[in-house]
Each structure stands twice: as C-alpha cells, then as structure tokens.
Amino acid sequence: MGEDRPSGSVGVRAPASAAVPLRRNRRFQVFWAGAVSSLLGLRIAGLAYPLLILARTGSPATAGAFGAVQTGTMLVLAVPGGAVADRANRRTVLAGALALQAAALAGVPIAMALHGLTVAQLMSTAVLLGAGTAFGGPVRMLALRSLVPPAQLSQALVQEEVRTSGGNLLGTPLGGALYALGSGLPFVASAVGCVLAMISVLVVRFDGRATRPARGGRGGLLKGVRVLWAVGPLRSVLFLVAGLGVVNAALTLVVLVRLQHDGASPRVVGMVLAAGALGGVLGALLTRRLHAALAPGRLLLAVSGCVVILLPLVAVPWGTGWLMLVLALIALGQPGLTVMLDILVFRQVDDAVRGRVIATTVAAVGVGTPLGNVLAGVLLQFASPAVASAVLAAVLCVPLVTAGLDSELRSAPWPDG
C-alpha cells in the first residue's frame, strides 16, 4: 500500500500461493519452537511468582501487585515498543528483549541461592518482564511476516494460536509441579525458555531491517492510534475485542470465587481453568472452518454474541463438568478472532507503521486485564458470581451492539471475498 492508513473498506486482496508447505518451512518452525519455549517459560513463571511472594511475605496484595506492575509496564511501553519495531533492526530488538527477560528470570534463583532475594528485586523483575513483552511482542509479529509468504500468513497465525493456547494449558500445571520440587526451579526453566527463544531468533535468517516508510509513514509515537481511528469499522473491531479482553479477565475471578463458594479443591480449580485453555486449542484448530463459514465481521459478532449468551451460564449450579464445558465454549471462537484481527487491521497498513498499529491494538486489548480484574473485584464485593456474570454479559453488549450497527463491518469480506 502506498499510504500508511487503511482504506475505507476492510477487505484484503488475495495473496499469491506459496510453493513450500508451512510444515516444511524450517525457518518458521524453528522460530515458532523458540517462541513456544519462551511463552511456556513465562506462563510457568506467571504461577511461580505469586506463590513465591505469598510464601515469603504472606501478603496477597503484594502477590497481586507483581502482575499489576508487569501488565502496567507493558501497557505504558507498548506504543514506544511499536515505534521501535517500525524503526530499528527487528532481529536485534527481539533478541535483546528475550535476553532482558532471561536475565531478569535468572536473577531470581541466583538471589535465592545467595539468600538475598527481596520484594524490590521481584518488582524490578516484573518491570523487566513487562518491558520485554512491550518491545518484543510487536517485533515478533513483524518478523513472522518475513518468514512465511503472504498466502500462508493466516495458517501461520493459526499455529501461533495453538502455541498460545497450549502454553496457557501446560504452563500452570508445569509451574505448580516445578515449584513443588523446588521454589527456584520454575524460574530456571523460564530463563532457559527465553534463552532458547533468543537462540532461535539469532540462528533463523530473516530480514530484520525496518521497512523504509511511505509518505507520512513516520508520524510519531501516536501514528498507530491515528491509523486505527481513521476508519470506522476498525474502531468497532477494536472496541469489541477490547471488551472481550475485559470480560475474559473478569471471568477468571468470577469462576474462582464460584469454585471457592462450592468448596472446590485446588486440583479441581486447576482442571476448570485448564478447560478454557483446552477450548482455545480446539478453537485454533477450527479457525479455518470458522473463517470458511462466516465473513470476518459476522464472525466477530457471532463469537461475541455467543460469549454474551454463555456468560450467565457460568453461574448455573450443574457441577464442575458443566462449568468446564461453558468455559471451553467461551474460548472456542476466540483464536479465530485473533487471526481475523490480523486480516482486518494489521494487513491493511503500510509496514512502516505496522509495528505501532500492532502495539496500539495490543495495548487496547491488554488494558482489559486490569480493568476486568477491578470490575470483577468490585462486583464480587457486593454481589454473587451469578449477578457478576450477568453484569459482564451486559457490559459486553455495549460494544457488541455498536459493532452490529456498522454495516461496513458486517459486509467486510475475507481475502478471497
């Protein structure tokens, strides 16, 4: 595209077919395997940090602050991270971000061995992990485009969704098992995962140079915001996906409180939460069929509408199996939305500003985590999980109705459309 903003239409041209099947694309598969190791490591650490902080301080507030600091740092640095992705050598930035995370993670067991671990170091680690995600995330998505031809990008993104959902599914039980063997082991495993990812970035050949900007392609840190705001359908997509982020974050706390009321054991809690991750894995495998059945705008509306319907069912007291089924169904369609977001938004913009557009989108969706946690906390302070889940459904209805009224979004075609 000659311009850095998308056109009024959100359709995409069909890409040319590629000669080499994705499964035989060694560069992509090695890069993907490295990403699997880093994601799994971070998910393992995500469970181990609160456990370690609780064991050392006995303060749930301090344990919760770790996640808040990590997420807050990521959100604050997301837009600058996108600007760096657009202007700097992407291989260098990604390798540096992974090295930063590996060093931060490795510092924890080292300090434990020296009997010098402090809460201040743990919070500093949260800052470094958030910064690594802010700068490495957009670059990773851009690097992916250098490793696969345009015709295989959607297929590659489906494999990415399997990675994400699989990491969510396996990370928590692995983190718990490693922590039971030794409180420092999860952090060693996490650091090794980031090192393996860094090695994959260094050994896989791809063009890490930032694309020379088209006319008006620089535009400063807020260029991604202006690009997304310029077209109504993209605003509708972003608001609705951000709404899903709020609801997903809040739902976890609602489920935990409901299980606590039911007297569920930690093993049952882990099984129930794993059901959502399993639904994500299955949903990733169904993405191509969902895309074949529904146009992108209609897919977004259908998946979001199903979430609205399913949310109140979380409170129906039909046992653990029922709750696991509902959570799996809520997660089922969401991997397809991630690929849809790439098609409707990221592929529409010039590569010179794509990093900032990706970062802005990630920040908009990511802010849903703290907002969702706060919303759920307030609701559950004064109401039951049943009322809270109904309120969450009502909250999601607002961006859903707004998007449903956008005729251009409803008629947006897939690449072949």
The DSSP secondary structure of 280-336, one letter per residue, reads HHHHHHTHHHHHHHS-HHHHHHHHHHHHHHHGGGGG--S-HHHHHHHHHHHHHTHHH
Please say whether the beta carbons of 149 and 30 come within 8 A: no
Which residues touch 303 (CB under 8 Å, ≥6 apart)?
333, 334, 336, 337
pLDDT for residue 401: 94
58: left (phi over 0), alpha (psi -120 to 50) or beta: left
Give CA–CA dist 333/347, Å, rounded: 21
For 1, 226, 228, 286, 343, the CA distances from 5, given in Å and listed in that order, are: 9, 8, 8, 31, 14
pLDDT value at position 415? 56
Rounded to an integer, what distance in angstroms lies between the CA atom of residue 289 and that of residue 269? Answer: 31
- Report the C-alpha gap between 345 and 358 in whole angstroms: 9
pLDDT of residue 396: 95
Domains and CATH numbers, the chain: 25-208 (1.20.1250.20), 220-417 (1.20.1250.20)
The CA distance from 147 to 346, in Å, is 16
Per-residue pLDDT of the chain (417 residues; tens, 9 = 90+): 444 444 444 443 334 444 578 888 898 899 989 999 999 999 888 888 888 888 888 877 787 788 888 888 998 898 888 888 888 888 899 999 999 999 999 999 999 999 999 999 999 999 999 999 999 988 888 888 888 887 888 888 888 888 888 888 888 788 888 888 898 999 999 999 999 999 999 998 877 665 555 454 455 667 777 777 776 677 888 889 889 989 998 898 888 888 888 888 767 877 888 888 899 889 988 988 988 898 888 999 999 999 999 999 998 888 899 999 999 999 999 888 888 888 777 776 777 788 888 888 888 888 888 888 888 888 888 889 999 999 999 999 999 999 999 888 888 777 554
Burial (CB count within 10 angstroms: exposed 0-12, middle 13-18, buried 19+), residue 32: buried
Closest CA to 250 of 314, 338, 186: 314
Cβ-based neighbour number of residue 264 at 10 Å = 18
pLDDT at 231: 64
Q: What is the pTM of this model?
A: 0.77
Q: Are 327 and 314 in contact (CB under 8 A)?
A: yes
Q: What is the pLDDT of residues 338-370, one digit of tens each?
A: 888 887 777 767 777 888 888 888 888 888 888
Res 218: pLDDT: 54
